[in-house]
Amino acid sequence: MSKKTTIYDIAKALNVTAATVSRALNNNPRISEATRQLVLKTAKKMNYKQNQLAVALKSGKSKNVGVIVPYIDRSFFSTIIRGIEEELNPQGYHVIICQTLEDGKKESDTVQNLLNAQVDGILISITRQTKNLDHFQQVLNKNIPLIFFDRKTNMKGVSSVTVDDYQGAYMATMHLIDQGCSKIAHLTVDRNLEIYENRFRGYKQALIDKGFHFEPDYVVALKSDIEAGKDAAKKLMDLSHPPDAIFSASDFGALGAITYLKSIGRQIPSDFRVVGFSNEPFTQFMELPISSVDQCPILMGKTAAQVFLEQIDSKEIHIEKKVVLKPTLNIRKSSSTLTVEVQTSNPQSTN
């Protein structure tokens, strides 16, 4: 293995001190531009690589940001990561991507590992198991920016970027009512998470506002996957008075429900209508495209990154900024013979 070039090797080659080389590499104003350029040219020629950890320890900035999501392989979260990187990379930041797989302990351990790696900030979508917030408090105690996105818990001094889940669910349910549906079921996920509770509340309020009776048997909890959607739809259709529409808090649940409904001969959308939530890519490209509420993942990622940049550039790290993005309802063939896209207003934020 070839020996790594050090600042001492560069100093020897140029017949200057190691301190001069170090200052030149770190843009110290005490070094002339001619000397700096000579050092940089020689360092490149000798294939010198700076020790980033040493630079981080010296400057107090690693230029690394941790991003934690429940699942990397979900399009929604991977698109958020893309938005974060598109915003942070031009500013010289590198993103360290981690996933928790909905494991609360893994989330806590991951936060600790990122702190040990001297990250400049942590952006996170919490797990369904997150109850204890001690690991988040550790981040705040170290004066490191912490930003929640999509899934959050309320903590003093922590910013968040979310979509208006309540409004998205309200819009979806109102759409089904406008299509003539009167017995609308709801597939929920884990209502201990604020996003799913808000989607349930939006669904229920739309029914109340239109004068419909809320039927608890029409609300079925499930995991956010296709098989669970099939099982939930079967349970609903086995009721003595089955529903004529489903609003699912998950696109995967909606897909499972549609699969089951078609297997028992239901015609969609002529005698049954379905709307999902998240606007996963598959919803657009199926033989029967699925109506879905868009959570604006690119914008969510970019906005979360912008909130981080505002905080890292501020003397006040623990800024409590709440950004709520307005959802869009994409109407497709699973709920209507007329397909349109209902646009909403711009993002809102509160400090």
pLDDT tens digits, 94-148: 999 999 999 999 999 999 999 998 999 999 999 988 888 999 999 999 999 999 9
Tell me the pLDDT tens digit for each residue of 266-302: 999 999 999 999 999 999 999 999 999 999 999 999 9
Task: Give the number of residues written for the chain.
Answer: 351
Radius of gyration of the chain, Cα coordinates, nearest whole angstrom: 26
Cα 64 to Cα 93: distance, rounded to the nearest angstrom? 6
Pairing of strands 348-350, 322-325: antiparallel
Q: Say yes or no: 200 and 229 in one domain.
A: yes
Q: What are phi and psi of 163, to 5 degrees?
A: -100, 155
- Position of tokens 């959802």? 327
Please name the helix (run of DSSP H) or strand (run of DSSP E) that holds residue 219, with its range, or none. strand 219-221
Distance from the first to the final alpha carbon of the chain: 54
Whichever domain contains 238, its CATH number is 3.40.50.2300
Whichever domain contains 14, its CATH number is 1.10.260.40
Q: Say yes or no: 319 and 338 in one domain.
A: no
What local confidence, expressed as pLDDT, does residue 309 receive? 94
Q: Say yes or no: 17 and 108 in one domain.
A: no
Alpha helices in the chain (DSSP H): 7-14, 18-25, 33-45, 52-59, 75-88, 104-116, 134-141, 165-178, 194-209, 226-237, 251-263, 282-285, 297-312
Q: Say yes or no: 177 and 263 in one domain.
A: yes
CB atoms within 10 A of CB 212: 16
In a domain, 22, yes or no: yes
Count of structural domains within the chain: 3
**What pTM was computed for the model?**
0.81
Q: Say yes or no: 78 and 223 in one domain.
A: no
In a domain, 249, yes or no: yes
Query: Does 269 sit behind a cis peptide bond, omega within 30 degrees of 0 on the bond before it?
Result: yes
Question: Is the model's pLDDT at 343 over the cut of 50?
Answer: no
Q: Say yes or no: 213 and 257 in one domain.
A: yes
In a domain, 39, yes or no: yes
The sheet carrying 341-342 orders its strands as 219-221, 184-188, 245-248, 273-278, 291-294, 328-330, 341-342
Question: Is the model's pLDDT at 210 over the cut of 90?
Answer: yes
In a domain, 102, yes or no: yes
Q: Say yes or no: 306 and 242 in one domain.
A: no
List 293's β-bridge partners, or say none. Answer: 277, 329
In a domain, 57, yes or no: no
Q: Is 65 helix (H, G, I), strand (E, B) or coil?
A: strand
Q: Say yes or no: 241 and 258 in one domain.
A: yes
Tell me the pLDDT tens digit for each residue of 304-316: 999 999 998 876 7
Tell me the pLDDT tens digit for each residue of 54-63: 555 555 678 9
What local confidence, expressed as pLDDT, does residue 345 receive? 42
What local confidence, expressed as pLDDT, does residue 314 receive? 77
Q: Are 292 and 199 in contact (CB under 8 A)?
A: no
Q: Say yes or no: 18 and 122 in one domain.
A: no
Q: Say yes or no: 342 and 226 in one domain.
A: yes
Residue 250 gets the label, from left (phi > 0), alpha (psi -120 to 50) or beta, of beta
Please name the helix (run of DSSP H) or strand (run of DSSP E) that holds residue 275, with its range, or none. strand 273-278
Q: Say yes or no: 303 and 285 in one domain.
A: no
Q: What percent of the chain has pLDDT over 70?
A: 92
- Residue 308's domain comprises 62-162+297-325
- Amino acid in position 104: G
Average the pLDDT over each of 59-63, 231-235, 240-244 and give the range with the smallest value.
Answer: 59-63
What local confidence, expressed as pLDDT, does residue 312 receive? 87
In a domain, 56, yes or no: no
In a domain, 132, yes or no: yes
In a domain, 55, yes or no: no
Question: Is the model's pLDDT at 1 over the cut of 50?
Answer: no
Q: Are 221 and 189 in contact (CB under 8 A)?
A: yes
Averaged over 230-242, what is the pLDDT?
Answer: 96
Tell me the pLDDT band of 249, cut-offs 50, 70 and 90.
very high
What local confidence, expressed as pLDDT, does residue 342 receive? 54
Q: Say yes or no: 275 and 308 in one domain.
A: no
What local confidence, expressed as pLDDT, does residue 306 receive? 96
Tell me the pLDDT tens digit for each residue of 159-199: 999 999 999 999 999 999 999 999 999 999 989 899 999 99
Q: Is 314 helix (H, G, I), strand (E, B) or coil?
A: coil
